[in-house]
Chain A
Amino acid sequence: MLIYALVLYLLIGTFIAVYAMRKVKSEEDYYIGGRKLSGVVSALTYAATTYSAFMMIGLVGLSYVSGVGALGFELFYLVGTIMLLSYYAPKIWRLGREKGLVTPGDLLAMRYGNKSSKVLAILVAIALIPYTSLQVISISLLLSKEIGFETGIILSAIIIALWAFLGGMRSVAWTDAVFGVFMLLMAITAVAFATALLPSYEFSRLGELLYVPNSFWRYEVFVSYTLPWFFFALTNPQVVQRIFIPKDETSLKRMVILFGFFGLLYTVLVTFLGLQLRLLTEFGVFPKIADRDLVTPKFLELMPKEFNVAIAISIFAAAITTANSIVLTLASMFSRDVIKTRSVVTGRVFVVAITIAIALFAIQRPAYIVDLAVMSSTILLCQLPLIFGIFHWKMGADFSATATLFAGFTTAVALYYTKATLGIPIGVWVIAISFATFFVVSMIEKRFKLERS
C-alpha cells in the first residue's frame, strides 16, 4: 500500500511541477516565483519549508522524553520568528523590490560587497547539505522496511530534484502548500488516534515532565536549544528567500500571520502527541522507548495500515518540502552569488548537482554528518551581525563581513569539537564572537581605508 501511496504522491507533485514550469520565463520566476505569490501560498511554503520531518519524528520524541519544555523550546522559536518577521520582513521585502534582490547573498552583497555573499554561500552549503542529508536519511529509514534504505534515498533525491528542477519556486511553493495542509491534517489524525487509546487524562502521572526546569530542561540546555532557532527567520537562507516571494505587502503580512497560526497549531499538536504517547506508556498501553527518534515509528505500528501509510507519507512530504526548498535556495546562491550567472539553466544544473551531493552524503553516512547537521543553525548565527548591520549600522564592508562569517563559523566548529564552552551555550559564543569581530574589524577597516585615502 505504501508503494501506491508514494506513486500517488509523486504523481500529484509532478503534475503541479509541470504546470508550474510553464510559468518560468526568467530567473526571478525560477528562484522567487516572479515575486507574484499569494499570501496563503507564501504562508504554506514558509511553514512547510520550516517544519521538516523533525516535527513528527524529533519533536514527538523530544516531548515524550522531556515533557512540556519541548513545547516551550518550539514556541520560543515561533514567537521569535514572528517578532523578527513583523519588524524585518517588510524592510527586506521592500529592498528586494527596489534593488532586484533574489538571494539572501544579494542582501549582503548590496551592503558589504560580493566576497561576503560568496563566503556566505559556501558556509550555507557546509551547514545545510549535511542537515538536508540527515532529513533524507531519516525518511529513508522510515520507509526502509517497505522499499529498502538506498531505494528510499534515491527516490527522495529524485523527487527533491525533479520538482525544484521543473518549476523552481512556484513548483516548490505549490507542492509545499498542498502537502503542508496534508501534514497538518495527518498530525490531527495522529492526535485523535492517540486520544482514542488513552484510558484517562491523568496527566499528573507524567510528574516532572509537566514543568520546567526539570532534569532534562535545565536553564543552559533550554538556552542552547532555543537560541539558534530563535533567529532562524533571519539566518536560514531558505526562509529569508521566501520573504521576497509575496506579490504585495498585504500578502507579506498574510504570509507571516498565517504561518504563525499554522506553526502554533502544528507545534501544539505534535508536542501534545508526544505527551499523550508518554502517558500511554505510563498506562502500559505503549512500550517504553529509550531512543526518542523511535517513538513515532513505534506509534505508527499501532495504527491501522491506512493511517500508518498516510502519516508516513506526511512525514516523507515534510522532509521533501524542506529539502527541495533548501536545494533551490542553495542553487540560487551558487548560481548568482558564487559564479555570478543570471541563467535559469545554471540554476537547474546546480539543483541536480546539490541533490546528488545530498544523496551521496546520505548513502555514505559519514560520522561527521550528524555533527554538522546539529551545528547547522548554530553555524548560521554568524550572519546575525551582518543582517542587523544592514538595517541599524553604517559600519562594515567586504573584509569585515567576511571576517565576521569566518570567525563565527570557526567558533561554532571549534567549540563543538573541543567542548571548551565554560558552560555557556555554543550559540551564545557564536553570537558574541561574531558581533565582536564585526565591530572591531569594521573599525579597523574604516581606519585603514581613511589612511589609504
Chain B
Amino acid sequence: MRVDVLVILLAMCIPFVAIKSMDLATYLYWTVVSALYLIYVALKRW
C-alpha cells in the first residue's frame, strides 16, 4: 500500500479517537484534511 494512502486514511480516522470537543472541530478537521488531500493529488500525485 502506498504511504500517502495510509496517511490519508489514518488522518480521516483521527476524529474517532482524538476529537471530542463540543464545537465544530471535527467538522472543520475533516473538511481541511479532505481539502489538503485534494490539493496534494492535484499538485503531486498525478
Show the binding face of A for B, using Cβ within 8 Å: 68, 71-72, 75-76, 78-79, 82-83, 86, 203-204, 206-207, 210-213, 219, 222, 253, 256-257, 260-261, 264, 268, 271-272, 275
Contacts and interface: CB of A to CB of B under 8 A. Distances in A.
Nearest to A204: B22
19 contacts: A68-B24, A71-B31, A72-B26, A75-B12, A75-B31, A79-B12, A79-B37, A83-B5, A83-B8, A86-B46, A203-B23, A203-B24, A204-B22, A210-B21, A210-B22, A210-B24, A211-B20, A271-B27, A275-B27
A261 B24 CA distance: 21
Q: Contact residue range for chain B?
A: 20 to 34
Nearest to A253: B46
A68 to B, nearest CB: 5
Nearest to B20: A211
Given A82-B38, A203-B24, A204-B22, A72 B12 contact: yes
Contact of B30 (A72, A204, A261): A72
Given A210-B24, A211-B20, 10 more contacts: A71-B27, A75-B30, A79-B37, A83-B8, A83-B41, A86-B45, A211-B15, A211-B22, A212-B15, A275-B27
B16 A213 contact: yes
B12 A211 contact: no
A211 B38 contact: no
Contacts of A83: 5, 8, 41
A71 B30 contact: yes
- Residue among A75, A79, A212 having the largest count of chain B Cβ atoms under 10 Å: A79
A203 B37 CA distance: 27
A264 B34 contact: yes
A441 B23 CA distance: 51
Nearest to A90: B46
A224 B23 CA distance: 26
A68 B12 contact: no
A68 B27 contact: yes
A261 B26 CA distance: 19
B42 interface: yes
Contacts of B37: 79, 82
A264 B34 CA distance: 8
Contact of B23 (A210, A253, A268): A210
Contacts of B15: 68, 72, 211-212
Interface string B1-41: 00001001100100110011111111100110011011001
Given A204-B23, A211-B19, A212-B26, A79 B34 contact: yes
A257 B27 contact: no
Given A86-B41, A212-B16, A268 B8 contact: no
Nearest to A271: B27
A79 B5 CA distance: 10
A71 B9 CA distance: 15
Contact of A260 (B20, B24, B25, B38): B38
Contacts of A272: 27
A261 B29 CA distance: 16
Contacts of B35: 264
A219 B15 CA distance: 12
B26 A210 contact: yes
A268 B29 CA distance: 12
B27 A210 contact: yes
A54 B27 CA distance: 20
A213 B16 CA distance: 6
Contacts of A75: 12, 30-31, 34
A276 to B, nearest CB: 11
B1 to A, nearest CB: 11
Nearest to B42: A257
Nearest to A76: B12
A47 to B, nearest CB: 13
B16 A257 contact: no
A82 B22 contact: no
Nearest to A210: B22
